[in-house]
Structure 1
Amino acid sequence: MITAYAAARWDLALDDLFLAVGHRFGRVELCRRNVTTYAVLAPVVRENTRQPTEQAGHPTPDGLQHLLAGSRWKLDDIRGDVREYVTDKVGEAGGVLITDDTRFIENGITSAGVQRQSSGTADRAETCRIGVLPAYASARGRALAGRGVCLPKSRTEDRER
């Protein structure tokens, strides 16, 4: 369970992060609201943008949909800002980079990297994708440091696909 104290600290940290990346967006406050809606409501099942926006009490998912599909911002620039933010906030000489794979059960086979393979969580072969999630940790804190999808050999060798 998330305490009120922890939620308040996360909110302050998110404000601090937006000071670092906000200049990348045209309408910073609207962007912040939409990112917060999507990120903070992690326990909400997210099939699309409707579930988190309904849970947050917004009348429509239009703002979040615009942020994800219509806004113009450069991901590499934001990644650089976030990397600098993480380095400043939690970076130190004794820090370590941790890389782990996480398997996500998926329906269908049209998404990148999805195929029938060992899912780990289901303890049997399932239709899933494998995500690679590097994280950085130090005595000052921890943060995700990137993300990627493992493409199975069957997908990389399938030229038509």
Structure 2
Amino acid sequence: MTQDHDTAAAATIALERYRDRFEDLMGEVAGCFPRRETRRTFREMTEGLLMELQDVNCWTVAEEVGHPGPHRLQHLLSRASWDDRAVLDQAAAWAVQWLDDGEGVLIADETGDEKSSTDAVGAGHQYSGSLGGIGLCQVAVHLSFASNVGHTVIDRALYLPRDWAGDEERRELTGVPEDLLFATKPQLAAALLTKAVADGIRATVFAADEVYGSREVRRTCRALGLGYAIAVRSNHKVTTPGGAGTVLALGVAGSMLAAVPAQAAPMSDKAIAHQMIKNPAQFAAFNNIVSRESGWNHTATNASSGAYGLVQALPASKMASAGSDWKTNPATQIKWGLDYMNSRYGSPVGAWNFWQTHHWY
């Protein structure tokens, strides 16, 4: 009976943790919906999509969440006013803050969605790995964030084939935006990578299959300070700068995996903290506070109060007790922040518990 009780207790704790995080996520994206009714429908649809349904569509989701029909969900997707781009960006940032252990990897891949006609935007006879060959489908390039903690999709871009991009009549009939032009899958991946880094999502390496083994993607990685592991054709030649790194060639299904560090990329502030804080629970609490206080920007300054750095010390000069380089060295700021949390709250976990109640510490 003891084992059964332990199992039940663990399941209860997991369910409570899931509910807490779901509520946290819904709070993060609430501002993207101008109407309460739209926000509630989005919440219900999200709950339905997280259920284990054999078929996922507006009819099955509506039935599971207690709607009399699919009309509210269909209205949400086709006519309701809300900012889906903002929802995606904020949900991605929220997810990454839980998954980021300082050694994150960005991964690009495409997925085909089978269609019955070419009426859907971008649909055509094209290759899709999920279909096992060429079929009538839409194809989208996805960017995922992965770490030792877990993984999630953080962005996507629809692949618009050349025949679609150049067909003005079909574009007008289906409402394709004027600024959506033809771009290759590597170009889409490079754009997604650039946006992710600009949005503050930090990773150490980019990984992809041979579809994305173009020079443009590799140049983008180097410009963003990312190492990369990209599969390329077996006859593809890779040139590396002298001394910048070596090429690791591995036979993988007839192709070559080229792992080329762009350069010795500096360790992220979060990775430094992860090395300094060995206890996972304490690091998670420290991460929660710093993510909200400064977004892991060691030069962040509060224009109103003058609070500064990763832990938003006030006055900022207090951090000088940890080192004279406190203005520029994230490790010094982390050391001071840890000392402060330990002395005032007993630990970062104690500080995080206080922060959740008062939204400061």
2:108 aligned counterpart, secondary structure: strand
Q: Which residue identity does 2:28 align to in structure 1?
A: A
Cα 1:119–1:62 shift into 2, 3 Å: same
Q: What is residue 40 of structure 1 aligned with on the other side? A: 50
Structure with larger RCO (C-alpha < 8 A, sep 6+): 1
Percent pairwise identity: 27
Deviation per CA, 1:21-66, whole angstroms, max 9, x where unpaired? Answer: 12333324454223312x22463424x5222212344222233233
Q: What is residue 245 of structure 2 aligned with on the other side? A: none
Contact preservation (8 Å) 1:135, 1:142: yes
13, 17, 20: which one aligns with 2:25: 17
Report the CA distance between 1:11 and its aligned residue. Answer: 4.0
Q: What is residue 99 of structure 2 aligned with on the other side? A: 90
* TM-score of the superposed pair, with normalisation by structure 2: 0.38
132, 136, 149: which one aligns with 1:140: 149
Q: Which runs of 5+ in 1 are unaligned?
A: none
2:72 aligned counterpart, secondary structure: helix
Q: Which runs of 5+ in 2 are unaligned?
A: 1-9, 171-361
Cα 1:143–1:121 shift into 2, 3 Å: closer
Counterpart-to-counterpart distance in 2, 1:87 and 1:41: 22
Counterpart-to-counterpart distance in 2, 1:87 and 1:63: 30
Superposed counterparts of 1:1-161, under 5 Å? 5=11, 8=15, 9-25=17-33, 26-27=35-36, 28-37=39-48, 39-41=49-51, 43-46=53-56, 48-161=57-170
Counterpart-to-counterpart distance in 2, 1:133 and 1:11: 27
2:138 aligned counterpart, secondary structure: strand
Report the CA distance between 1:94 and its aligned residue. Answer: 1.1
Counterpart-to-counterpart distance in 1, 2:32 and 2:52: 24
In terms of mean alpha carbon deviation, does 23-32 or 93-102 score higher?
A: 23-32
Report the CA distance between 1:76 and its aligned residue. Answer: 3.0
Contact preservation (8 Å) 1:104, 1:128: yes
Cα 1:129–1:42 shift into 2, 3 Å: farther
Q: Which residue identity does 2:138 align to in structure 1?
A: R
Report the CA distance between 1:111 and its aligned residue. Answer: 0.7
Larger Cα-atom Rg: 2
2:168 aligned counterpart, secondary structure: coil
Aligned CA RMSD, in angstroms, stands at 2.7
Contact preservation (8 Å) 2:144, 2:155: yes
Report the CA distance between 1:5 and its aligned residue. Answer: 4.0
Contact preservation (8 Å) 2:41, 2:76: no
Report the CA distance between 1:15 and its aligned residue. Answer: 1.9
Counterpart-to-counterpart distance in 2, 1:121 and 1:90: 26
1:93 aligned counterpart, secondary structure: coil
In terms of mean alpha carbon deviation, does 126-135 or 115-124 score higher?
A: 115-124
Q: How many residue pairs were aligned? A: 156
2:96 aligned counterpart, secondary structure: helix
Counterpart-to-counterpart distance in 1, 2:76 and 2:131: 33
